[in-house]
Amino acid sequence: MTRRTRRRSGLLCALQTALFALVALPCIARADGMTARSLADTARDRAARAAKSVWHDATDLGQFALGLIGVRYRYGGETPAAGLDCSGLIRYVFQQVTGVTLPRTARELSQVGANVSLDDLQVGDLVFFNTRNYAFSHVGLYLGDDRFIHAPTRGRDVEITTLSREYWQRHFDGARRLVGVLPSLIPAVFPEALATTLTNFRVGPAEDLLEETPDLPAAP
């Protein structure tokens, strides 16, 4: 085969390849479109299922927390056996019910999830208070009907109290909604790396992990 023949043959192959690509392009585009639509449909379906499960998950949080009433308060406590402080209670409940490990302090918890107004509170929301002369120094879990559960202070046990009491009204610092925005409740179509990032919260020095509230008013 001469050099000219080889060059002509190579050019012909290149033209054939280009022609095949042009012919196949609409099919590839349609396939990509179908894939995109399929992924979008999957995402919508999974999001809808996740949305339906949100209320169930929130109710589970409240029901599980009720089982901790009477657990003694312990400064820095993280388990019912050893005792619980306010954020330790929240962290333990969410770990057991959702499998998500939350930040350790009330102040760090106040930066997680979505802000919720007092009028829009739902079961499973976190409610925060200024009980130590700085914002978000105490946290409880809202149970609905104006009630929340919390670990109050030394010498007291996990208990239920009401938001409408003057003390809590005066010290209320805001609320956050974690149910529905935590990685465990995000549809699986989202990358796992995203869920890992969302749960990768920094935990401060050991002295920041311990928190307690001053003497609080007794439950009604």
- Whether 185 contacts 174, CB under 8 Å: no
Which residues are registered as beta bridge partners of 72? 157
Catalytic positions: 86, 138, 150
- pLDDT tens track of the chain, all 220 residues? 544 444 444 434 443 444 444 444 454 445 555 555 566 666 555 544 544 445 567 889 999 999 999 999 999 999 999 999 999 999 999 999 988 899 999 999 999 999 999 999 999 999 999 999 899 999 999 999 999 999 999 999 999 999 999 999 999 999 999 987 765 544 333 333 333 433 343 333 333 333 444 444 443 3
Q: Is the pTM of this model over 0.85?
A: no
Q: How far apart are CA 168 and CA 187, in angstroms?
A: 36
Q: How far apart are CA 196 and CA 198, in angstroms?
A: 5
Q: How far apart are CA 13 and CA 24, in angstroms?
A: 16
